[in-house]
Amino acid sequence: MTNHALANPFLDQLSYCLLNHQGQIIDCSRKTAGLFGSSPEDLQGHSIVDVLRITSEIPATFEGMLSQANATGELRFEAEYSPAEGSACHFEATLTPCRIAEGQDEGALLQIWDVTHHKQLERKLRERKELFSSTFYQAAVGMVHVNMSDARFLGANNTICEMLGYTEEEFCSKTIMDVTHPDDILSDLDNTKRMIDGEINMFSIEKRLLRKDGSSVWTRLTAASVSRDEQGHAKYGMAVVEDITQIKEAQDALKESEERFKTLADSAPVLIFMTDTNANHLYVNKNYLNYTGLTYSDLLGTQWQNRIHPEDREEYLSRMASACQHQESLRAEVRINRNDGQYGWVLVSVVPRYTATGLFMGFVGSGIDITDKKLLEESLEKAKVTAEDLNRRKSEFLSMMSHELRTPLNSIIGYSSIIQNNMAGPLNDNQSKFIQNVVYSGKHLLNLVNDLLDLSKVEAGKMKITVSQFDLPVLVQDVQSMLNDLAHRKNITLTFSIQPGITTVQADPERFKQILINLITNGIKFNRPGGEVRVRLFKRDDDAWLIGQVQDSGIGIPKSKFANLFGKFYQVDTSPARSNEGSGLGLALTKELIELHGGTIEVDSEEGVGTTFTFRLPTVQTVVVKGTHNDAVRNSSR
């Protein structure tokens, strides 16, 4: 190995290498050797093509390299050196043919520069460029670059190409105007001009772009300038484009549905309003404005509250405040001052409204004018009071009259009975017949008066029953002996049957007797000679009910008359030719008496076959010892 012949502090700072004609290193500067982590001495004799890995496209052999260098004066190339440890170094080199010493074959001078750092920068730059490029092309929103001087596109990413149906090449042959809907061309002109002039750097706009097939797409476009010339004018710009067709369609649908709602609300013959969470009006329909005569701005404030009648205002507002607090519905009847200055009754109902996520937003309310209904109610109430008053006075009159009539009647019956019984002297046949008629008619009249008195008591709510425990067979015996004579005279067979085991019964005995007499008398009256009336008394439903049945074989009652049968003064046969006397009060009173006991009565009948009245009384009644327990006495509530 020869010495580092060119050792020299100055030369060692340079980057060179002397090569013989075979490309072997004759000598090199220390700086160059240092690039390979070596010394000039150690490198001597090594072939340069072994030390370096040449990356440029040049001849692979040193001989070839030398001949190419000879042809052009020098040969520039790039190479790499990979040390045993650490990362590769990159070099740029220039090979210049030269003869090292007289008589020797031509060698070469190799100048070499470490460009590793530069290469790394270059790589980073390339990577960033690729990153930017793929961000641009792969972005989920449309992106374009524009030359601001002629509005022509310089680049367009995949999203916008797909959105509008162009290839990038086709896109770049277009200008902004080419792809803008004709109706929207003017919409961003002003902003674009201001951006070019440097007044603004970016702006956003919604506009329609045209697809290649001529259809349009709604977009939100954000444009920005990306570089400016010395005068500050935008040279290049970029735009981010989002397809908002669906949003626009949804907005249009919403707008349409709002319009529809508004038309509907305005044409509805009711007052409609919408409030916030504090009951402040946010919306009112036309009818609301017409009704109150207020303007929209009045209603959006608190003016509407003054339209409520002073007597209703405080209560309504406090109920409304509570509805707000508890997010509750509310119904109220309030008087509202109308545009004609009069107060109208309005039925207001509000219901809470919520967002889709359940957030309380306030109320939707409606109001209906119920003034007519209120007036009707008032006049009905007045009429009711008047009718009740009249009814009460009628009952009082009847009661008074009945009392007045009973006294002389009793006297007539009493004295005529004395005469009838020959207690005032003997009577001839005619006299006896006539006095018998007087007694009979007097008794009939007394019955009528008694019925009238009872009914007037019921109507006045003063009829009371006094329940006690009595012996049923004894009471029935009593009834039988009272009616036997009548049955006999009418040639009717009257039979009674009581379910064995029934002895005592709880009821008002006088009224119970009256019920039986009324029903049996009818059975006899509306019968035919030779007919029969059967009375049955038994218990049902575990002895909970006492059932009474009065069945006759009489003329029957048409089913169409059933509904009115228990009405006052009702008679099925009202013809003057009817053979039976009566007042039409018996069944009405019987029903009242049964109901006062907590019972019911029903009728079944077939014309020409007969009629059955069935009444049911609860067997357990409040037992009242006469005159002591008035509170527990059953009272007519009507």
CB of 332 to ligand ADP, least distance (A): 49
Establish if 557 lies at the interface with ligand ADP (CB under 6 A): yes
Beta carbon nearer to ligand ADP, 273 or 526 = 526
CB of 562 to ligand ADP, least distance (A): 10
Query: Crossing angle for the helix pair 509-525 and 586-596, nearest 10 degrees?
Result: 150
Q: Which two tokens stand for residue 83?
A: 């040390």
Establish if 554 lies at the interface with ligand ADP (CB under 6 A): yes
Convert residues 468-507 into a mask of x (bound to ligand ADP by CB under 6 A) and - (unbound).
Answer: ----------------------------------------
Q: Residue 221 burial by CB count (10 A; 0-12/13-18/19+): exposed, middle or buried?
A: buried
Establish if 611 lies at the interface with ligand ADP (CB under 6 A): yes
CB of 446 to ligand ADP, least distance (A): 14
Q: Minimal CA–CA distance to 367: which of 335, 340, 392, 341?
A: 335
Establish if 199 lies at the interface with ligand ADP (CB under 6 A): no
CB of 451 to ligand ADP, least distance (A): 8
Query: Site size for ligand ADP, by CB under 6 A?
Result: 20
Query: Which residue type does 153 have?
Result: F
What pairing do the DSSP bridges indicate for beta strands 234-243 and 142-147? antiparallel
Query: Which residue type does 468 have?
Result: S
Beta carbon nearer to ligand ADP, 394 or 444 = 444
Under 8 Å between Cβ of 301 and 346: no
Establish if 23 lies at the interface with ligand ADP (CB under 6 A): no
Beta carbon nearer to ligand ADP, 471 or 573 = 573
Establish if 520 lies at the interface with ligand ADP (CB under 6 A): no
Residues forming beta bridges with residue 25, ordered by sequence position: 19
Alpha-carbon distance of 74 to 20, in angstroms, equals 16
Buried b (16+ CB within 10 A) or exposed e, 120-138: eeeeeeeeeeeeeeeebee
Query: Crossing angle for the helix pair 509-525 and 472-489, nearest 10 degrees?
Result: 30
Question: How many CB atoms neighbour CB 19 within 10 A?
Answer: 25
CB of 368 to ligand ADP, least distance (A): 47
User: Taking the CA of residue 386 as centre, how many other CA atoms within 13 Å lie in the half-sphere pointing to its CB?
Assistant: 6
CB of 352 to ligand ADP, least distance (A): 58
Establish if 188 lies at the interface with ligand ADP (CB under 6 A): no
The DSSP code sequence of 318-368 is HHHHHHHHHT--EEEEEEEE-TTS-EEEEEEEEEEEE-TT--EEEEEEEEE
Q: Which of residues 561-600 bind ligand ADP (CB under 6 A)?
A: 565, 570-573, 582-588
CB of 329 to ligand ADP, least distance (A): 51
Question: How many CB atoms neighbour CB 553 within 10 A?
Answer: 19
Helix (H, G, I), strand (E, B) or coil at 71: helix
Beta carbon nearer to ligand ADP, 34 or 556 = 556
Beta carbon nearer to ligand ADP, 413 or 587 = 587
What pairing do the DSSP bridges indicate for beta strands 271-275 and 234-243? unpaired
CB of 578 to ligand ADP, least distance (A): 8
Query: Which residue type does 484 have?
Result: N
Alpha-carbon distance of 491 to 553, in angstroms, equals 12
CB of 565 to ligand ADP, least distance (A): 6
Beta carbon nearer to ligand ADP, 538 or 570 = 570
CB of 519 to ligand ADP, least distance (A): 7
Beta carbon nearer to ligand ADP, 136 or 570 = 570
**Which residue matches tokens 């050196």?**
81
Establish if 531 lies at the interface with ligand ADP (CB under 6 A): no
User: What residues line the site for ligand ADP (CB under 6 A)?
Assistant: 522-523, 526, 552, 554-555, 557, 565, 570-573, 582-588, 611
